[in-house]
Structures are given as C-alpha cells and as structure tokens.
Amino acid sequence: MILNVTFRLRKQPVFHIQYGALEQELIKMNVQDLSIHVISKAVINIRSSKLPDPSTIGNAGSFFKNPVIPQTQYEELKRIYASIPGYPTSEGSIKTAAGWLIEQCGWKGYRKGDAGCYDKQALVLVNYGNATGREIFLLSGDIINSVMQKFNILLEREVNILS
C-alpha cells in the first residue's frame, strides 16, 4: 500500500533530444529555441514519415517491443554489426531497436498476399487489404524466428492478441 508520494517538478523543462532521429529532425526544422511544442512537432514529423496512415493501410503501429539484452551480448553483436543501435538502461543492460533487427533480416517491405512489413518502418506490420489476423500473426512469428536465428534475440509482440 502506498501512503505517500512526492513529486519533484522543475520550473524550467529539461529536454532529452539525443534519442533516435529527434536531434536530426530538429536540425532539419532549423529550430533555434527548444520548446515542448517544437519537440512535439518534430516527433509528429518523424512518425508521419515512418508510419502508415491507418485510414490508407491497416496497421497496429509498432508490432514488437524493443528488446533489452545483456551488455556482453550487445558488445558481441556490435563487433559483427557495427551499426546496431543500443541505448543503456538503468539496470546496466542495453535496449536495441527491434525495427533495425527486423530490417537486417530482410523483412522491411516484405509482402505475402495482403500481409506485410511496412516499407518505411520494419517494425510495423500492415494489412494491404484482406489479410486475416491469422496471416498477420503467422508473419510476426516468421519475423520472430528469423531475428532469433540471426541475432539470438527473442522479439516480443507489443500488440494485444486475442484468441
């Protein structure tokens, strides 16, 4: 039972823009002064450029969670795959990008019937028309298996799947 909570709020915001493409987008936007509004606009721009419009192509957004792996495993992979992204966690592990792993396995832009992997962001599975839930699920399983075989990393589905 929690009896008390204390929040420490700052009068001046602290912006963390080093993650992913955010810093690059802010440069592209020629931002002179950071604000919550400007950072929000940059995030919207990035997502719009990478994610399909759900009114045009059916999708559930990011289908897989970004995996967290031990530091030693990340260092081994970094020796083989110099461009593998990694973000340290507070527990001393490394979070890497599921989209990057999936893309390295050749899935980005893959399509079988109406089920596919979006051509601008490998993390997003799409329904180009009449794919069934089962077809999308089977595709996600094939992706999980290929990432495991190539990198020894188990991807976890982020979407809720009802049976």
Mean pLDDT by 10 residues, the chain (163 residues): 87 78 88 88 84 81 93 97 93 94 97 94 93 94 98 93 71
Are the C-beta atoms of 43 and 137 separated by less than 8 Å? no
Q: Quote the pLDDT of residue 9.
A: 83
Q: Please give the Cα distance from 22 to 18 (Å, whole number).
A: 7
Q: Which domains does the chain have, with CATH numbers?
A: 8-50 (no CATH), 53-151 (3.90.78.10)
Are the C-beta atoms of 74 and 84 separated by less than 8 Å? yes
Instruction: With CA atoms as reference, report the closest residue to 56 among 145, 126, 1.
Output: 126
Please report, for residues 93, 94, 136, the alpha-carbon distance to residue 90 in angstroms, rounded to integers and kept in the order given.
7, 9, 34
Instruction: With CA atoms as reference, report the closest residue to 111 among 89, 82, 131, 94.
Output: 131
Q: Quote the pLDDT of residue 73.
A: 97
Q: Please give the Cα distance from 104 to 99 (Å, whole number).
A: 9
Q: Please give the Cα distance from 133 to 123 (Å, whole number).
A: 17
Measure the CA angle with vertex 97, ends 80 and 23; round to 5°: 105
Are the C-beta atoms of 131 and 119 separated by less than 8 Å? no
Q: Quote the pLDDT of residue 163.
A: 65
Q: Quote the pLDDT of residue 18.
A: 75
How many Å from the N-terminal Cα to the C-terminal Cα in the chain? 34
